[in-house]
Amino acid sequence: SYDEMTKIRKNNVNPALTTYYKKPLALHQGYKQWLFDINGRRYLDMFAGVCTVSVGHAHPKITQAVTEQMDTLGHSTNIYYHTKLHEYAKKLAEKLPDKLECIYFVCSGSEANDLALLMARSYTNKFDVISLKNCYHGMTYQMMGMTSNNYYKYPVPGAAGFFKTTNPDVYNGIWGGKNCRDSPVQTDRPCSCGSECEAGLRYLQQFECELRHDIPKGGLAAFWAESIQGVGGTIQYPKNYIKGIYQRVKDQGGLYVADEVQTGFGRTGDYFWGFESHGIVPDIVTMAKGIGNGYPLAAVATTKEIATGLAKAGHFNTFGGNPVACTTGLSVLEIIEEEKLQENCKTVGTHLLLELEKLKSKFPVIGDVRGKGLMIGVELVEDPKTRVALSTEKVLKFWEKCLDMGLIVGKGGISGNVIRIKPPMCITKEDADFTVKVFEVALEDI
Ligand code: PMP
């Protein structure tokens, strides 16, 4: 019962794992984009277990494939061959640019980034890593050094060698202008850099300045970025920023690492990988969440040359490439293609973005609507002129009201005032319209 779970939660579950909502949601079942609580109440899941359930809850094709695999071989480790790992490694590599042909399977996004860090440092023989302020790359002790310390409040002594550059945020940052991000909806921030928007250039100049003055010259091993910032509040970078960074990092002999944990697998609509929209080919790509539709599966893809560096150093992982996990991953790839889910992200996502933009013109509390495909952020503010974040109390009121009406959405951003929409990729236009309708009622409430 609910009360029993509350008691167990208090006594036996580490309290660091906080729950959402005043009365935590107790889930019992899921089907496609729907979740059902222990009382049988249905919710439209527009957050997908933090951007993870990519093809839908309890997808019958996955259930069948996984059941068959469990019956055949539930576990095998990397010291043996098994067919599913090899089949999946080949299929996944085919989805990536040719040079990223070498896959290492692990079990979570943090683990993938941690391993990629080891690859980057051991391959380059350099130590310094630059990431963006507000970024999220994981919660292993090393990844905390790389991840913005806005998300935790204790010291990370192993954080030597991690540097953060200014977040190129065109809504909250210093520079930005019309059309400077890749989205069906645009920012209306007055451009501060002349008749043509040059926000990307300005942030690049800032980066160069930081490289010259703030970042010790131990040698740059890698630059790390999500292709769109997820936990940071669906932050899209100005056009040409990532391309410029890529060039400057290469000039320094560093690697470019793309964290595709949230943006991969077609979610952003136009492309299968988020980095494609920046016109670059990374040296290392990390992926998790949507890759396994909720199954603990993650991967690092890189070139043979970089992978060989790790092989020389030696490395092992017991669960990475587990046959059931690989079966799930294979099914996810098939379902995305069979059900045209990437295309669905583009059409339904664009429709939802434009409808939310219309809502913005009615409610000044919506400061910004942004995103691509089904990776959407709605930033709530006290006043659209000052752009001060809406109070936590009001954000929570909005958010609880959505739940009351059967809608699950996420929240994020440094001030917790960005409503995050990252549903299973199979949602329909009707689901998008329902979401907008619920937002309208909840906004009227606050
Ligand atoms: N990278 C990104 C972009 C993420 O959003 C997350 C999780 N929020 C991670 C890495 C870490 O993934 P995990 O929680 O699976 O370790």
Which residues have C-beta within 8 Å of that of residue 375, sequence separation ≥ 6? Answer: 51, 228, 230, 234, 262, 263, 267, 268, 349, 421, 422
Strand 27-31 with 366-372, pairing:
unpaired
Give mean pLDDT, residues 394-403. 97
Give mean pLDDT, residues 439-444. 98
User: Is residue 190 predicted with pLDDT exceeding 60?
Assistant: no
Token pair, residue 444, equals 């009227």
DSSP per residue, 170-225: TTTSS---TT-SSSSS---PPPSSSSS--HHHHHHHHHHHHHHHTS-TT-EEEEEE
Q: Is 110 in the pocket of ligand 1 (CB under 6 A)?
A: yes
User: Is residue 193 predicted with pLDDT exceeding 80?
Assistant: no
Which residue did the predictor score with more confidence, 173 or 286? Answer: 286
Question: First and final CA of the chain: distance in angstroms?
Answer: 33
Which residues have C-beta within 8 Å of that of residue 273, sequence separation ≥ 6? Answer: 96, 227, 258, 260, 263, 264, 285
Distance, in Å, from the CA atom of 317 to the CA atom of 329, rounded to the nearest integer, reads 18
State the pLDDT confidence band at 62, using cuts at 50, 70 and 90.
Answer: very high
Give mean pLDDT, residues 123-151. 94
Q: Where in the chain is the domain with CATH 3.90.1150.10?
A: 2-58+341-445
Tell me which DSSP letter residue 433 carries: H
Cα 309 from chain centroid (whole Å): 28
State the pLDDT confidence band at 160, using cuts at 50, 70 and 90.
Answer: confident
Q: What confidence tens digit (pLDDT) does each residue in 280-305 have?
A: 999 999 999 999 999 999 999 999 99
Distance, in Å, from the CA atom of 146 to the CA atom of 333, rounded to the nearest integer, reads 30
User: What is the interface pTM, i.e. ipTM, of the complex?
Assistant: 0.99
Probe residue for ligand 1, chosen from 111, 137, 418 as the CB with the greatest number of ligand atoms within 8 Å = 137
pLDDT of residue 197: 58
Listed residue (137, 245, 242, 233) closest to 182, CA to CA: 242
Give mean pLDDT, residues 425-433. 98
Q: Is 261 in the pocket of ligand 1 (CB under 6 A)?
A: yes
**Proportion of the chain above pLDDT 70, given as a percent:** 97
366 Cα–ligand 1 center, Å = 27
Probe residue for ligand 1, chosen from 235, 261, 284 as the CB with the greatest number of ligand atoms within 8 Å = 261
User: Is residue 30 predicted with pLDDT exceeding 90?
Assistant: yes
Distance, in Å, from the CA atom of 329 to the CA atom of 438, rounded to the nearest integer, reads 33
- Closest ligand 1 atom to residue 263 Cα is 3
Give mean pLDDT, residues 254-275. 98
Give mean pLDDT, residues 201-226. 89
197 Cα–ligand 1 center, Å = 32
Distance, in Å, from the CA atom of 353 to the CA atom of 436, rounded to the nearest integer, reads 10
* Atom 12 of ligand 1, residue of closest alpha carbon: 109
147 Cα–ligand 1 center, Å = 10
Token pair, residue 253, equals 């002999």
Probe residue for ligand 1, chosen from 227, 257, 262 as the CB with the greatest number of ligand atoms within 8 Å = 262
Distance, in Å, from the CA atom of 292 to the CA atom of 243, rounded to the nearest integer, reads 29
Give mean pLDDT, residues 50-61. 98
Q: Which CATH superfamily is domain 2-58+341-445 in?
A: Aspartate Aminotransferase, domain 1 (3.90.1150.10)
Token pair, residue 248, equals 């400057």
Looking at residue 65, its amino acid is: A
In contact, 387 and 381? CB cutoff 8 Å: yes
* Atom 13 of ligand 1, residue of closest alpha carbon: 109
Q: How many angstroms separate the Cα of 299 from the Cα of each of 78, 138, 286, 379?
A: 14, 14, 6, 31
Tell me how crowded residue 132 is: count the other CB atoms within 10 A of its CB.
26
User: Is residue 373 predicted with pLDDT exceeding 90?
Assistant: yes
Mean residue pLDDT of the chain comes to: 94
Token pair, residue 209, equals 């300045």
224 Cα–ligand 1 center, Å = 13
Least reliable range by pLDDT among 66-75, 199-208, 229-238, 405-414: 199-208
Q: Is 257 in the pocket of ligand 1 (CB under 6 A)?
A: no
Q: Phi/psi at 3 (nearest 5 deg)?
A: -65, -40
**CATH class held by domain 64-338:** alpha beta
DSSP per residue, 148-169: -TTS--S--GGGTTEEEEPP--
Token pair, residue 72, equals 């055949």
Question: Is residue 244 classed exposed, middle or buried when 0-12, 13-18 and 19+ CB atoms within 10 A define those classes?
Answer: buried
Q: Where in the chain is the domain with CATH 3.40.640.10?
A: 64-338
82 Cα–ligand 1 center, Å = 28
In contact, 231 and 240? CB cutoff 8 Å: no
DSSP per residue, 234-269: SBPPPTTHHHHHHHHHHHTT-EEEEE-TTTTTTTTS
* Atom 14 of ligand 1, residue of closest alpha carbon: 109
Token pair, residue 268, equals 């952003």
Q: Is 137 in the pocket of ligand 1 (CB under 6 A)?
A: yes
pLDDT of residue 31: 98
pLDDT of residue 182: 84
269 Cα–ligand 1 center, Å = 20
pLDDT of residue 194: 53
Q: Is 108 in the pocket of ligand 1 (CB under 6 A)?
A: yes
User: Is residue 174 predicted with pLDDT exceeding 90?
Assistant: no
138 Cα–ligand 1 center, Å = 5
136 Cα–ligand 1 center, Å = 7
Q: Is 300 in the pocket of ligand 1 (CB under 6 A)?
A: no
pLDDT of residue 348: 98
- Closest ligand 1 atom to residue 139 Cα is 16
In contact, 221 and 255? CB cutoff 8 Å: yes
Q: Is 49 in the pocket of ligand 1 (CB under 6 A)?
A: no
Q: Is 59 in the pocket of ligand 1 (CB under 6 A)?
A: no
The sign one gets for the Cα dihedral 9, 15, 16, 22 is positive
pLDDT of residue 196: 55
State the pLDDT confidence band at 15, using cuts at 50, 70 and 90.
Answer: very high
Q: What confidence tens digit (pLDDT) does each residue in 316-348 have?
A: 999 999 999 999 999 999 999 999 999 999 999
Q: Is 228 in the pocket of ligand 1 (CB under 6 A)?
A: no
397 Cα–ligand 1 center, Å = 27
